[in-house]
Structures are given as C-alpha cells and as structure tokens.
Amino acid sequence: MALISIIEDFHPLNNAKYLDIAKSLKPSLHHHIFEPVGAFMLKERYSSEKEAIRLHDVTHLSLGKGRNLCLDFGSHRVGRVSLALSYSGSHPDAPALLKLKFAETLKELSENSDSYDGWISSSWIQEEYVHVDVLPSVISLPRRYAFRYLKITLMDTSPKYKLVIKHAECLAESSAYMERSGAVSYKDPMLDRINEVGIRTLHNCMQDVFEDGPKRDRRLWMGDLRLQAQANYSTFRNNDLVKRCLYLFAGSRFPDGRVSACLFTDPVVEADDTWLFDYSLFFVVALEEYLEATGDLQALEDLYGVAMEQIDLALGMLGTDGILDQNAVENTFVDWCDPLDKSVCAQSVLIYALRFARKLALRKEDAGRAEAIEERIIQLSEAARDRFWDADQRCFVSGQGQVSPAGQVWAVLAGLAEGEEACSAVKQCESCVPDLKMTTPYMHHYYVMALLACGMKEKALDHIKSYWGSMVEAGADTFWESWMPEDPEASPYGGSIINSYCHAWSCTPVYILKEFFHEEWEET
C-alpha cells in the first residue's frame, strides 16, 4: 500500500442529498470541566525521573527559567485548556515564554520531539510555545488536545519575577454521554478494567464523527468506523452518528464512485484521495450491520446502490482465474506489516464482503442480485481454495509461499475453511515468523473474531486478557493505535512519539465481551 496518496487535481464526486442528510445528523457536543488531580516535576528536561508535588502546593510554586511543572488530569481527556497565570516577585518587565507539551502517556512527557524523523508530519506532536505578555492573566488555548498530562516549562522570563500557575482546567468534549455507555460488570477485575478503558477510548473518539484518534489523525476512516459502530451498538447506541458517517462516505467519493478510505469534514466535507480496497468494501459490511441494528429503511433505500457499486468495482479487479489482480492486493491495508503478502487477505475480504452484500440484497428483496452474489461467493471461494490452500501444511499460503497470521484470519472469516481445517489454519498464527506478527489492535480484533468463528471461545477470551490486558498493565487509560508487548517502542511511523494512544480501532473488546461472553457479565 502507498503510505501517502497524492492525486493532483483531485475532485471528489459529491452528492448533495446524502451530505444534507449527514449534516442534519450532526450531533451536539457535551462538555465537562476537568481539573488536575496530581502534579510533579521532571528532574531533567527529557528525564523520566519525577519529583512529586502536593497538588495544593502548586498555586504557591514559583517557576523560574528552565523549571517545569507537570499536571496530571487523572485520565485521558479530549478538549480545550485554559490556564490562570500570575507571578511572584517584582512586576513583570518582560513576557513569559512557555512551552506547553500535551501527552497521552507518561512516556511522551520525557521524549524529545526534535529527535523524531518519521514519515508522518511532526506537526501532530502536541507542543506549543506561548508568549504571555500580561500577568496576571487567563490564557485559553484555541486548539483541541488529546492528553492526560500537561507539561509546562518556563523557557525564559525576566530575573525580576517568577511564574505561578494559579489554576488549570480542560473543557472536555464528546458527542457521547459516558453515563449512557451501558457499562456492565464482569467476574474478572482485568476484564472490568479492559471494558472501562475500551469505553473511554470509544467515548473520546466520538466527536461530530467517529474519529480514528483525537490526537491523530482526527479523521473519519472507513475501517475504523466499522469497528467503532460495532462497539457503539453494544455501548452508547448513538446510532444516528453511525448513520451520519455512512452518509458522509456515500456523499463524497472518488469520481468513479469508489468509497474513499477516509474523509475530511472541515471546513467542508471532502473525500481524501486515498483509496484502500478492503476499506471500500467495509462500507458494505458497516451498512448491513447498521441496518441489522436499526432496521432503517431510509438508509437501505438511499445507500443500497452505493454499497453494490463497491461490490461491482471490486469484482472488476478479478482475473479470469477468479483471483484479484495486483492493484487490489497492493491497495489493501489489513495491518501495518511491510513484509506481508496480502493476496490471501484481499481475496478473503472480498468474499467476506460479498456475504454481507448478499444479506443486503435479501433485505432489499433484490432476489436476482442475491442469487448472483451467492454464485460469486461459491466461484471465488473455490478459486481461493485452489490457489491458496495447502493441504500438507493445512493452512493458507500466499503466492510468495508466505504463511501469515493475517492470511489465516481473513481466510477463516471469509469461510474458506471450516471445522478442523479452520482451527488448523488459525493455530498457525501462534508460530509465525517475527516479521509477520500482528502489530495493531485492529488486526488483533479480527484474530479474536476468527478464534470465535472456530468455536475457540476460551482462547479468544485469554487473548483479550493477555493482549489488551498488557496495555492496561503498561498504563493505558485509553487503548493504543499500535502495540506489540514484546517491543513497546514499536511504531509504524518511524517514532513512537507520533503514535496515537487513544485510537478507536482498539476499543472492540467492549463489543466482543458483551456480545459473545454473556455468561461473564451482569448489569450495573
């Protein structure tokens, strides 16, 4: 997959009807004020060593040049920050120059952003330099931040005075009410904690759309939306927000009708010039799941054609042998894993989406289309089995001779193997080579779903506890975008400082636990 897609003179195809419906569904944001619950200093500028400070002493603390103060807001917050500042000593005769660093994790506080040299813009790093000309004063920062910790460093001032932080607060915002999350209690403290962190992750990503991450990229991505919507049906049930997002994707597309991988919503709605084969097909999946959750006949009538267009476009990328061409394979995401050959995955995602498309056709009472899709499922499944199933190894092997966890997971989810064969394939995930390991909670979600499809419930639950639980044990308030327990510093972007530590595709245990493990929870 191309990491950066740039199409010069790109003009999306916009549908005013769909965009007007999406606009009418734009939610109001709810606000809560949060103040710091703790404070400390870092002994050195980029040190992880902390010196605790009693919170009630903060307002009496005088900061001189080079000193820092770190405020802990208790948990991950998404919102706008204001600071009430004063001084001690003589009347200020020069501005105070502050460096403000917002961090989602403790580790970020001590990282030097100047050392970052990745391929995603460093402008996402949440740091600000602020001149304060008049003291005392209240400064309200115009940007929205995603953070738990705020590090205030006094970069320079006059020798005549020192800075005093009198008050700090965050006006947090979300379109979801936390008290309406449908929280449940599990019989296991770790599962309770995973559920709590997952709900907060989803909540903080629910803004006027389902954002992928409130720190980065603050955008509506199709692959993320599918998983966020599933989690939403089990928690907040803000189904109008799902509907809004589906209409946004339908309302701004590629000129040939393809659903874009992601959308911008400000200052106007505009499809990004990035297209991913698997993400475009998830529009079909997400629409059918939305209809299953709501029975919304208007959405079925409006969006059925857009969904089927994604199917037709995908089928147009098949060769005469019933196998997808290289363009489809290379534009399939699946996971951040450069060595991964995605041929098994792409073929499987298409078959997976066809199964949802057939449900859509039956729901629309389009019998002819449903029958044609069923024939395609059989044809493409046979072609995939002939090309990728290795009877000796009892798993799916790509054209490069590669046995990958992602390939086994998607082949099982597509129904290319059942019973003992499916179990054999998914067990290959435990013995893969290190370079092909799953790197994101996004891919781990689908691994858990494959385990469940094989009837391996106990193993699925154990994996949730070990994988998402390891993030909790590492200090997660919200679940992270990328996480490999054996390599905590790993980043797909060239530096962990740019990673998102509240990422919506990671919240899905709240859905899996509630829907598949009824015996494990009780209402609260």
Question: What is the DSSP secondary-structure string of 208-263?
Answer: SSB-S-TTTT-SEEHHHHHHHHHHHHTTT--HHHHHHHHHHHHHEE-TTSPPPSEE
Using CA atoms, how far apart are residues 26 and 20, in angstroms rounded to an integer?
Answer: 10
Residue 25 per-residue DSSP state: T
Can you give the residue range of the structural domain that contains 162? 30-174
Q: Which two tokens stand for residue 46?
A: 């980029």
Instruction: Report percent pLDDT > 70 for the chain.
Output: 99
Number of domains in the chain: 1
Using CA atoms, how far apart are residues 506 and 406, in angstroms rounded to an integer?
Answer: 17
Residue 235 lies in a domain: no
Residue 92 lies in a domain: yes
Q: Is the pLDDT at 522 greater than 80, yes or no?
A: no
Residue 482 lies in a domain: no
pLDDT value, residue 310: 98
Using CA atoms, how far apart are residues 61 and 41, in angstroms rounded to an integer?
Answer: 11
Mean pLDDT of 342-369: 98
Tens-place pLDDT, residues 101-157: 999 999 999 899 999 999 999 999 999 999 999 999 999 999 999 999 999 999 999
**This model's pTM is above 0.85:** yes
pLDDT averaged over every residue in the chain: 96
Q: Which two tokens stand for residue 263?
A: 């959308």
Mean pLDDT of 384-408: 95
Residue 292 lies in a domain: no
Mean pLDDT of 473-484: 97
pLDDT value, residue 39: 97
Residue 2 lies in a domain: no
Mean pLDDT of 182-197: 93
pLDDT value, residue 434: 87
Cα separations (Å) of 383 from 97, 318, 378, 380, 453?
65, 11, 9, 5, 22
Residue-wise over 440-479: b if at least 16 C-beta within 10 A, else e? bbbbbbbbbbbbbbbebeebbbebbbebbbebbeeebbbb
Query: 441-453 and 509-516 are packed helices; what angle lies between their axes, rounded to 10 degrees?
Result: 20
Instruction: Report percent pLDDT > 90 for the chain.
Output: 93
Q: Residue 70: which CATH number?
A: 2.60.120.260
Q: Is the pLDDT at 2 greater than 60, yes or no?
A: no
Read off the pLDDT band of 524 (50, 70, 90).
low
Burial class (CB in 10 A: 0-12, 13-18, 19+), 430: exposed
Residue 427 lies in a domain: no
Q: Is the pLDDT at 3 greater than 70, yes or no?
A: no
pLDDT value, residue 1: 37
pLDDT value, residue 326: 97
Tens-place pLDDT, residues 57-85: 999 999 999 999 999 999 999 999 999 99
> Which residues contact residue 313 at a Cβ distance below 8 angstroms, ignoring those fewer than 6 apart?
256, 257, 258, 280
Residue 283 lies in a domain: no
Residue 219 lies in a domain: no
Mean pLDDT of 321-339: 97
Q: Which two tokens stand for residue 35?
A: 């103040």
